[in-house]
């Protein structure tokens, strides 16, 4: 649900909109926001509610509009500018417009007429981050909602320990791992640009935690003979790290070099494009796999 502010009077600063929970109570938070507002501004409250405050500290009126009203009726995705309409006013997103031979509603020939009024509404909208409940306080423009969601540092990351249902920002995930699963991740810290020797049972599926000296969480994934290194965290970590793996047995070895993949849920995301297929011949008599890994920071291949 989108909450629009409606400002009365002669002021030209008429703004804005924000996503919020219309059922939550504001209470003392509104009073704090009112007293701290130096100009007409948009305040994001801790419980996700957004209000607009005028120069005088007055809470502006609000109106609620369902975001479904901004869905393209063809693909059901939220529409961004440009938005097109037929001669009868039926709208479509720009992507669907290029594919239609007639209006999806009234069957009139397509027209390159823009729906400027709806575009103006969409372009002026402000939204709270979908991860506001996880600590993100960003207020973002409607057109940038997907790019922000893709890169938000508060994106929920899921605990990779089997049967554990914890999820939260990566900073909280690290605290959870240390507090709840400490023995499983102990003694696996490493330093960038230095080889680290690792061994594990290669007869089944395996997760090996690695925590860098800057706190970044990496996991060696091994499943059905495929081996790779990923980082659990926000997508902003993509292409920040690369690595080299060396799997060896006696006088034979194989090396693999790749960019580190980034995931939020390790068990559902095995990036096959960044993995090494390991032959069973590299397992020793106890089915142990011996390997070394080297991770670079800010180095692209």
**Tens digits of per-residue pLDDT, 172-216?**
998 898 888 877 666 678 899 999 998 888 777 777 888 898 888
Contact 60, 33 (CB under 8 A): no
Contact 60, 53 (CB under 8 A): yes
Average pLDDT of the chain is: 76
H helices of the chain, where?
28-36, 94-97, 116-124, 145-151, 170-180, 182-185
Torsion of CA 26, 29, 35, 38, to 10 degrees: -90
Three-state DSSP at 62 gives strand
Contact 153, 236 (CB under 8 A): yes
Mean pLDDT, residues 125-151: 84
CA 34 from chain centre, in angstroms, equals: 32
pLDDT, position 271: 56
219-223 long-range contacts, Cβ below 8 Å, gap at least 24? 219/160, 219/266, 220/293, 221/266, 221/270, 221/275, 222/278, 222/289, 223/270
What percent of the chain is modeled with pLDDT above 70? 73
> 233: which DSSP letter?
S
221-232: pLDDT as tens digits: 887 788 888 898
Full set of structural domains in the chain with CATH: 2-65+123-151 (no CATH), 67-114 (3.30.40.10), 184-297 (2.60.210.10)
Query: Is 88 exposed, middle or buried (CB count within 10 Å of its CB: 0-12, 13-18, 19+)?
Result: exposed
Q: Provide the pairing of β-strand 196-201 with 189-190.
A: unpaired
Three-state DSSP at 279 gives coil
275-294: pLDDT as tens digits: 788 888 888 878 888 889 99
pLDDT above 70: residue 261: yes
pLDDT band at 85 (very low <50, low <70, confident <90, very high): very high
pLDDT above 60: residue 59: no
- Enter the tokens of residue 217: 């969480």
């Amino acid at each position: 649900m989108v909450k629009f502010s409606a400002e009365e009077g002669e002021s030209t600063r008429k703004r804005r909109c924000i996503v919020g929970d219309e059922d939550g109570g504001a209470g003392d938070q509104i009073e704090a926001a009112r007293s701290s507002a130096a100009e007409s501004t948009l305040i994001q409250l801790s419980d996700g509610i957004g209000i607009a405050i005028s120069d005088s500290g007055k809470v502006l009126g609000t109106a609620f509009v369902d975001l479904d009203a901004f869905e393209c009726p063809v693909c059901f995705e939220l529409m961004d500018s440009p938005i097109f309409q037929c001669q009868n006013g039926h709208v479509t997103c720009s992507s669907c417009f290029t594919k239609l031979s007639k209006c999806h509603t009234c069957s009139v020939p397509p027209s390159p007429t823009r729906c400027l009024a709806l575009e103006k509404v969409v372009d002026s909208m402000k939204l709270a981050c979908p991860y506001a409940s996880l600590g993100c306080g960003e207020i973002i423009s409607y057109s940038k909602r997907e790019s922000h969601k893709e890169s938000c540092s508060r994106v929920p990351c899921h605990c990779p320990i089997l049967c554990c249902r914890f999820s939260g920002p990566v900073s909280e995930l690290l605290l959870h791992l240390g507090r709840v699963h400490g023995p499983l991740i102990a003694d696996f810290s490493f330093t960038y640009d230095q080889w680290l020797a690792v061994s594990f049972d290669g007869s089944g599926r395996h997760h090996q935690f690695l925590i860098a000296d800057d706190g970044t969480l990496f996991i060696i994934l091994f499943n059905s003979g495929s081996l790779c290194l990923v980082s659990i965290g926000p997508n902003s970590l993509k292409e920040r790290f690369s690595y080299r793996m060396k799997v060896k047995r006696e006088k034979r070895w194989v090396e693999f070099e790749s960019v580190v993949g980034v995931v939020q849920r390790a068990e559902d995301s095995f990036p096959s494009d960044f993995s090494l297929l390991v032959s069973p011949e590299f397992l020793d008599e106890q089915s142990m796999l011996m390997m070394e890994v080297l991770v670079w920071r800010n180095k692209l291949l």
